[in-house]
Amino acid sequence: MVEKIAYRISASVLLVAALAIIALLVMGLTRADAGRSAVQTKTAVAGNVASETVVQNMSEPEPIAAGPMDIAEKLPLSDKFVVKRILQIDEPFVHGYYKWDDEGVPEGELVVTVDLKAESISVFRAGYEIGAAVITFGDSEKPTPTGVFPITQKNKDHISNIYGSPMPYMMRLTNDGVAIHASDVKWGWGTRGCIGVPLEFARLLFEQAKLGDRVIVTNGKMIGIGDAIL
């Protein structure tokens, strides 16, 4: 009888121990699954963040030569002014044509804008356009650069030390030879990076411009009345 009771107790103990082991195994597996899920969730979140970062970095515009409106946001208010007048041009705006009218325009800062796509140059004084002309510009071997360039040198009777060509009323923009100067402005003609303008227009601009005056060269940046130049 005692042996039977001892046997039953031993069997009960073994059953309880087996159940306890099974419970521990089940808990361990559950925790392992939960841990794996947490790790997978964190990895997925980290992956999404990384993807978003890549997309954001790819979508951020690369720094390029800023247009007039971009520059306006970065300069002090004293250096900003808006277009107050655009010259009325009724004649065909063709190669060799220019217009100049500064009558009644107040004194003020001079800014020159060049749009390569429109093949045109505009001169603004105190926000009023006083001159406009059709231009020639760089060819494929030496294109005209875009950006904002101060006039660093003026020479009425300049001769190119690279090509030996006359460059009347030269106003230098870069150290490697890009300048505004008088030229034969004809359809289909190009330059070696310079901005060529009609002779009389070059003279008028040369008389108005000072060292340090800014020339903005863009490729398709159009501005109108009320737009900021600088």
Give the H or E element holding residue 112: strand 110-115
| Euclidean distance between the first and the last CA atom of the chain, given in angstroms as a whole number | 109
How many CA atoms lie within 13 Å of 228's alpha carbon, on the beta-carbon side?
A: 16
230 residues of the chain, pLDDT tens digit each: 434 434 443 445 455 455 555 554 444 444 444 444 333 333 333 333 222 222 222 222 233 233 333 444 444 434 567 899 999 999 999 999 999 999 999 999 999 999 999 999 999 999 999 999 999 999 888 899 999 999 999 999 998 877 778 899 999 999 988 999 999 898 888 788 999 999 999 999 999 999 999 999 999 888 888 888 76
Give the H or E element holding residue 27: helix 2-59
- Specify the pairing of strand 110-115 against strand 98-100: unpaired
Reported pTM: 0.65
